[in-house]
Chains A and B, each alone.
Chain A
Amino acid sequence: MIEIKDLHKSYKTGSNSLHVLKGINFSVAEGELVSIMGSSGSGKSTLLNILGMLDEADSGTYTLDGVPIKNLNEKIAARYRNKFLGFIFQSFNLISYKSAVDNVALPLYYQGLKRKERMDRAMAYLEKVGLTDWAQHLPNELSGGQKQRVAIARALASDPKVLLADEPTGALDTKTSYEVMDLIQKINEEGRTILIVTHEHDIAEMTKRIVNLKDGVIIDDNKVDQIKALQYV
């Protein structure tokens, strides 16, 4: 599903150049649930941004579902993001003046779907995350866990190939974190490929594979026995 070869990325700050990613080789098969771990500054967010086509690598190749991702202009990048990727953010990033269902329907709006169909599909995904009754509520009327579940529904709405989650539990308490992880595990079990960036070990252990990043290189990459989040809920 994801194929990365020899990825390099550096940021220029004034006269200094900060080499963040120093040759990453990494691949993810379909249906995997992978966590990327590392301390801050290890380059894990940069990696995720490149995977999410929000940022571009300096060198190296990136293939997503057989499509080489290179020389993107913003228009094509936007289309690929819409078609291939679903984003889940630490701070949810819901649009504050849109109701839950409108938030979920937003990626479909950019796909150019008709309003009726958008609403139907958005409601279906809200039901999947158990928030049907909250469909018409604004984000600030929802709890943190609910917000993240709306965000997950939104990420799923365009039926993407890969879900990219940047610290999805970073702003949640432990119990809510596990609930969200339970949901993510369930989505993964339906065959969706999911990448999670996290620095929490308990969260990482709920995935099927842990990739450890340090100073811009992968130091280890192991399959683990998945711990079901459900038992903590």
Chain B
Amino acid sequence: MFSRDNWDEILEALSANWFRTVLTAFGVLWGIFILVILLAAGKGLENGVKQGFGGMATNSMFMWSQTTSKPYKGLPQGRRFSFKTGDVEAIKEQVPHLRFISPRNQLGGFGGANNVVRGLNTGAYNVYGDYPEIIQQEPMDITSGRFINHSDIKEKRKVAVIGESVRSGLYEPGEKVLGSYIKISGVNFMVIGTYKKKGGGNGNVEEAQKQIYVPFTAFSQAFNRGEDVGWMAITANDDHSITSLKNQVFDVLKDRHTIHPEDDRAVGHFDLYEEFNKINGLFVALKGVAYFVGILVLLSGIIGISNIMLIVVKERTNEIGVRRALGATPWAIRGQILMESIFLTIMSGMAGIAMATAVIFLVNNALSGMDTSEMMFLNPSVDLGVVMTALAILVISGLLAGLIPAQNAIRIKPVDALRTE
């Protein structure tokens, strides 16, 4: 089927009328070009928006305790409660498929008073008592030193990892940071590392650098939190969505804290996965639009090819008659028309893909010179899968485009075909 003779036949037939072949090919070229460009643009937008998530573990939720909204078992509504460290173990035991559970306690907050002192410098920062796993859920780059580890947790070391903005607020440029001490609400902590991180869920890059991480256990002891836990970040395994697991988590907590099972307001939470999925849904829709528009444009190109093949068959009626007189079987004729059509479609499609790739390359080149962190557009690209899909579409459409002309080619009887001039 793919012998050299076949190619010779096809190339001879197509090159017999170069200008027309190129014009015909242009329709499909344009279609696939638009399809690929639209998909790449969608991908670029998606990359840009997802960049805002800063590489967070998106299959996560964050929860905190609020006040109960229903009386239950003799307890009034409006009751305050707090998560306990025991809750973490209970959730781990009773809810499967969870990857990380990071409890956290917190000092300070947005716009809070100055709570950190170093020599003459003071500042208002968020201070988090955290477990080492938090770095997997809220990725950050450790720019010097190290992050807190399990030994710190176990020995309740008073150590701190500070953000780049904290460092610039409390230290002179060039001053030695690691090993120095800062005073957080009156308690000294030794700085063991600095970090820098991307925006986080809310995309506030500046605020994200004004944080101090200390070991959870040291925090509880130093600031007298006892067994209390203020906040938890829970990440599920990749094959389970946190959205499907979160109610189990809530049930465990409600049970342990004597909260009415239908009290939905007692536990506050933010489901990152759900938010992420909403955005994902948008991009799925965008992709759908790209395919829809691209394929429709492609379709008009294919109809063009089908049309021109009909004319070609008409023109070559006599030739087809001659070929049949010389012993070409109907399938040989049909096959040739189909191969011509598929070949033409694929060639022009490849040209379209190449052109689109060149444009994407140029755009990427232009973008690489700019700071894209605040742009909603990053690295427009198509993956191999899309190109393969496009190729499959091309082969099928080439086949479809050739089907009617091929049938036309053999419908006319050889004797009539020979009579045509």
Chain A contact residues, CB within 8 Å of chain B = 49, 52, 54-55, 74-75, 78-79, 81-83, 87, 89, 91, 93, 95-98, 106-107, 109-111, 115, 154, 158
- Neighbouring A residues of B414 by C-beta, 8 Å: 54
Q: A55-B413, A95-B322, A98-B12 are in contact. Are A89 and B418 (CB under 8 A)?
A: yes
Q: A54-B414, A89-B418, A93-B418 are in contact. Are A74 and B330 (CB under 8 A)?
A: yes
Known contacts A81-B326, A89-B322; can you find 11 more A-B pairs with CB under 8 A?
A: A49-B415, A52-B325, A54-B413, A54-B418, A74-B329, A74-B410, A78-B330, A89-B418, A109-B5, A158-B326, A158-B327
Docked-complex contact A97 and B327, CB < 8 angstroms: no
- Neighbouring A residues of B328 by C-beta, 8 Å: 78, 110
- Neighbouring B residues of A55 by C-beta, 8 Å: 413, 415
CA distance A81 to B319 in the complex (A): 16
How far is the CB of B12 from the nearest CB of chain A, in Å? 5
Determine the residue in chain B with the shortest Cβ distance to A98: B12
Which residue, of A55, A81, A111, A158, has the highest number of chain B Cβ atoms within 10 A? A81
- Neighbouring B residues of A74 by C-beta, 8 Å: 324, 329-330, 410
From A81, A83, A91, A109, B325 is in contact (CB under 8 Å) with: A81
Determine the residue in chain A with the shortest Cβ distance to B13: A97
- Neighbouring B residues of A78 by C-beta, 8 Å: 324, 327-330, 332
- Neighbouring B residues of A115 by C-beta, 8 Å: 4-5
Determine the residue in chain A with the shortest Cβ distance to B321: A93
Residue interface bits B334-363, CB-to-A below 8 A is 1, else 0: 000000000000000000000000000000
- Neighbouring B residues of A52 by C-beta, 8 Å: 325
How far is the CB of A231 from the nearest CB of chain B, in Å? 33
Docked-complex contact B330 and A75, CB < 8 angstroms: yes
- Neighbouring B residues of A158 by C-beta, 8 Å: 326-327
Question: What are the nearest 3 A-B pairs in CB distance?
Answer: A82-B327, A54-B415, A110-B327
CA distance A81 to B332 in the complex (A): 14
Q: A89-B418, A98-B12 are in contact. Are A106 and B410 (CB under 8 A)?
A: no
B331 at the interface (CB under 8 A from A): yes
How far is the CB of B325 from the nearest CB of chain A, in Å? 5
B93 at the interface (CB under 8 A from A): no
CA distance A109 to B318 in the complex (A): 18
CA distance A68 to B46 in the complex (A): 71
How far is the CB of A40 from the nearest CB of chain B, in Å? 14
- Neighbouring A residues of B327 by C-beta, 8 Å: 78-79, 81-83, 107, 110-111, 158
CA distance A98 to B15 in the complex (A): 11
Q: List 7 A-B contacts (CB under 8 A).
A: A49-B415, A52-B325, A55-B413, A74-B330, A93-B321, A96-B319, A110-B328
- List residues 106-125 of chain B with CB under 8 A from any CB of chain A: none
Q: A49-B415, A54-B414, A55-B413 are in contact. Are A110 and B13 (CB under 8 A)?
A: no
Docked-complex contact B413 and A75, CB < 8 angstroms: no
Q: A55-B413, A74-B410, A95-B319 are in contact. Are A154 and B329 (CB under 8 A)?
A: no
Docked-complex contact A97 and B418, CB < 8 angstroms: no
Determine the residue in chain B with the shortest Cβ distance to A80: B327
Size of chain B's interface in residues, with CB distance under 8 A? 26
How far is the CB of B2 from the nearest CB of chain A, in Å? 14
From B13, B322, B329, B415, A79 is in contact (CB under 8 Å) with: B329
Q: A52-B325, A78-B328, A154-B326 are in contact. Are A93 and B318 (CB under 8 A)?
A: yes
Docked-complex contact A97 and B16, CB < 8 angstroms: yes
- Neighbouring A residues of B318 by C-beta, 8 Å: 93
Determine the residue in chain B with the shortest Cβ distance to A106: B326
Q: A74-B330, A82-B327 are in contact. Are A91 and B12 (CB under 8 A)?
A: no
B421 at the interface (CB under 8 A from A): yes
- Neighbouring A residues of B418 by C-beta, 8 Å: 54, 89, 93
- Neighbouring A residues of B156 by C-beta, 8 Å: none
- Neighbouring B residues of A75 by C-beta, 8 Å: 329-331
Docked-complex contact A54 and B12, CB < 8 angstroms: no
Q: A97-B13, A115-B4 are in contact. Are A87 and B326 (CB under 8 A)?
A: yes
CA distance A89 to B415 in the complex (A): 12
Which residue, of B12, B322, B323, B421, has the highest number of chain A Cβ atoms within 10 A? B322
CA distance A11 to B254 in the complex (A): 93
Determine the residue in chain A with the shortest Cβ distance to B421: A91
Docked-complex contact A107 and B326, CB < 8 angstroms: yes
- List residues 1-51 of chain B with CB under 8 A from any CB of chain A: 4-5, 12-13, 15-16
- Neighbouring B residues of A79 by C-beta, 8 Å: 327, 329
CA distance A55 to B413 in the complex (A): 8
How far is the CB of A47 from the nearest CB of chain B, in Å? 12
How far is the CB of A58 from the nearest CB of chain B, in Å? 15
- Neighbouring A residues of B325 by C-beta, 8 Å: 52, 54, 81, 87, 93
- Neighbouring A residues of B415 by C-beta, 8 Å: 49, 54-55
How far is the CB of A209 from the nearest CB of chain B, in Å? 24
- Neighbouring A residues of B13 by C-beta, 8 Å: 97
How far is the CB of B190 from the nearest CB of chain A, in Å? 83
- Neighbouring A residues of B323 by C-beta, 8 Å: 95, 106, 110
CA distance A130 to B326 in the complex (A): 22
- List residues 377-421 of chain B with CB under 8 A from any CB of chain A: 410, 413-415, 418, 421
Determine the residue in chain B with the shortest Cβ distance to A74: B330
CA distance A96 to B316 in the complex (A): 10
CA distance A154 to B15 in the complex (A): 23
